[in-house]
Structures are given as C-alpha cells and as structure tokens.
Structure 1
Amino acid sequence: MPEKLSIVGIGGTTSPGSSTEQALQIALRAAAAEGAEVTWFDGAALCALPHYAPGVLDRSEEGRRLVEAVREAHGLVIASPGYHGSISGLVKNAIDYVEETSKDARVYLDGLPVGLIVTAYGWQATGSTLATMRSIVHALRGWPTPLGAAIRAVSGMFRDGQCTDAGASSQLELVGKQVVEFARLRKAAPSILSTGPVEE
C-alpha cells in the first residue's frame, strides 16, 4: 500500500472557533477527502508555543511536535487572520519554528506545496496579508499553491465548521485539494532534488 500523504495545517487565533480556524478546517477536510492524512495545529496549540528562539525545543513539547510534523509533511496549509494589514504574530511565531529544519536534508519547506488562507474584515487586509504569507513561504523555499484563499469574513459567515458563502467555501476546498494534488505529483516525480543547506 502506498504511503499516505501527510498534510499539516497551521492556523488560528486566540479565540477558539474563530473564522480563521473554521476556514482552515474546511480546507483540511477537502485534503482528507482526497486521501491525505491531516494534522492540525489550531489556535490553542499555537498559543502554547513559546516565542521562538534557538534551543526552545528543549522546553517545549508542543514546539517539538510541530517541528516533527513539518519534517514529515508532504504539504502544508497555513491560515492567518489579517491583523493590521499583515499576518498575526501567533501564526508567524509558529512559522518561525521551521528554522529548526535549517540543517535538515530537506531544508525548511524545500519543495513542499503550501496552501494559504487569510480571513479579515476588510479586503485590503486580505490582499496584503496573503502577499506577505507568499513571501514568507518563498523565503522558506516552499511552493505556494496557485490559489490563495482571501476571505472577507463577515459576521455569521462561519458556523459549526461550515461556510455560508458558497464561493468562499469552494475557494477553501480548492486550496486543500491543490496542496494534495501538488504533493502527489511531487512525490511521484521529484524533479528538483534538495542540495542541503545553502549559504544565504
């Protein structure tokens, strides 16, 4: 039996059941429906992470779990609220833990497809935050999927893990599906081989 693809979701806020968390859930459900094995680090998990610094894994079980999940992942889905026009500190701190993979055989997110989701109350924040997240993924050598979901989250739009806006829901599902699709292609025919750490 072929190895199942592992997709890791990272995202949420300090508020349980936030729009960001529910949007990420929709994308991850779509990934699971495509046959992927999904691991999710929600807002509560992100809140448990100490501020990233070298050596932090010695005192953070949650940090070790996050880093190991990323190391084993075939793809990621990252979701952030748009706070003041950019990614939240909570989500950025979680991403900073990827620095622990800088000396791995697969450096950072090298070759991994990464789906991106932004929820915000205004369109301006969705656009600028999505652009920032793409820049971060590029810096970590990941491959942002063609579609990034920029969702203007109005009150009542997300409820019980569902989205009342059919268009937004379709975007979120497509993000999850694209991550699995590209992870499957990458696994079947890796065209770019990691050369290990590169001097920056």
Structure 2
Amino acid sequence: MGLGGTFRQASSSERIVRAVLAECAAVGAETVMFDGPALAGLPHFNPEKPDRTPEEQALVEAVRGADGIVIGSPGYHGGYSGLVKNAIDLLEDLRGDPRVYFEGRPVGLVVTAAGWQACGTTLSALRDVVHAMRGWPTPVGVAVNSVEQKPFAPDGSLADDGIAAAVRAQARQIMGFRMEAGA
C-alpha cells in the first residue's frame, strides 16, 4: 500500500510512490494508494477521540493488511509534510495489534525536495519514524532533487533513468522482503 503526496493531485511524490506500486503490481502485488487529496480529507489525529471516520478506518485497515508499504513526502524545511505526519500519527491505532505498527514489513520511502540537503534530511527523518514504528526501511530510498532533476516525461512516464532505476530497485526490495518473509 502506498501513502503520500501533497494537496495537489498527481504531485511528484505521489507519482513516484505510484511508480513503485506499479513495479510491485507488475510482479503480482495487489496495491492501493492513499494520495495527497485522500490524506487531506483526514481530520487531525486526536488520540482522545476513539471514533474514526470511514476514511481514517480505511487507511488504518489498509496498513493493517499490507505486507509492504511505500511512503512518499515532499521535503518541507528539511522534514516531511504535515499531511504525511497526520496519516502516520493515525497509525497509533495499530499499537495493540499482534503486528504492531509496521512490524515485520518493508517500507519504501520516496522524497521530493528542492535540493539534496532537504532530500537527505527528509529521507532520514522518515527512516527514523519507520524504525520507531518497527518497520524495515528498504536500503534504497528514492530521493528526487526537483531543482536538478526532471523526473517525468510529457506523457507522465519516468524520464530520468536514475530515478527509474531507484524505483525498480525499491520495488524489488519490497517484493523480495515479502518473498523471504513468506508473505
């Protein structure tokens, strides 16, 4: 399952998460995406409010049932977006599950930012969160410097060979982990 993006439909981070999911689907995975506009409809996480909206429930159930996860975010001031943070905070609802949070699952990370420093710090911040939530960040993280790289062709396909290679490598790692784990 994938989550991420911005308020803008078809943002760069969302499109790259979708590209990773497409590579996973090409080798047999069933995928679902919670894009920026879907995440924007979630209320602010409130641990004191036990009743969840249908949209919140759908996200939590998708993560609960997922064997692999891809999270994408723009880099904002060296960190990941509040939109993605709110969605991740909602996963506190998984704390009592037999498979807590991201336990035993590969988590691919995708970052788009205006500069390599922002790419690195945002990717590092997401890796820290995945570790804290008992997940396994894939060795390959996809980082796109929007100042220096133009990831997409006019038809929407990945135009940058390096980004396309990273997307394929991340998908292989997610699917390989799943195969080794017997998922």
- TM-score normalised to the size of structure 2? 0.93
Secondary structure in 1 aligned to 2:104?
A: coil
Offset at 1:21?
1.0
Quote the residue 2:175 is aligned against: 180
Quote the residue 1:157 is aligned against: 151
Contact 2:151/2:163 (<8 A) preserved: no
Contact 2:107/2:135 (<8 A) preserved: yes
Q: 1:71 to 1:163 in 2, by over 3 A?
A: same
Secondary structure in 2 aligned to 1:93?
A: helix
Offset at 1:54?
2.0
Offset at 1:141?
0.3
Offset at 1:57?
5.9
2:34 to 31, 37, 41: 41
- TM-score normalised to the size of structure 1? 0.85
Distance in 1 between the 2:86 and 2:182 partners? Answer: 28
Q: 1:98 to 1:59 in 2, by over 3 A?
A: closer
Contact 1:57/1:63 (<8 A) preserved: no
Contact 2:150/2:160 (<8 A) preserved: no
Secondary structure in 1 aligned to 2:60?
A: helix
Secondary structure in 2 aligned to 1:164?
A: coil
Root-mean-square deviation (Å): 1.5
Distance in 2 between the 1:147 and 1:162 partners? Answer: 20
Aligned residues between the structures:
181
Distance in 2 between the 1:59 and 1:129 partners? Answer: 29
Higher mean C-alpha displacement, 101-110 vs 157-166: 157-166
Task: Give runs of ≥4 in structure 1 deviating > 6 Å.
Answer: none
1:148 to 131, 141, 145: 141
Offset at 1:171?
0.6
Which runs of 5 or more residues in structure 1 are unaligned? 1-7, 189-200
Offset at 1:160?
4.5
Which runs of 5 or more residues in structure 2 are unaligned? none
Contact 1:74/1:112 (<8 A) preserved: yes
Distance in 2 between the 1:175 and 1:111 partners? Answer: 17
Q: 1:86 to 1:58 in 2, by over 3 A?
A: same
Deviations 1:70-97 (CA, angstroms, capped at 9, x unpaired)? 1111010001100111100001111111
Distance in 2 between the 1:77 and 1:161 partners? Answer: 20
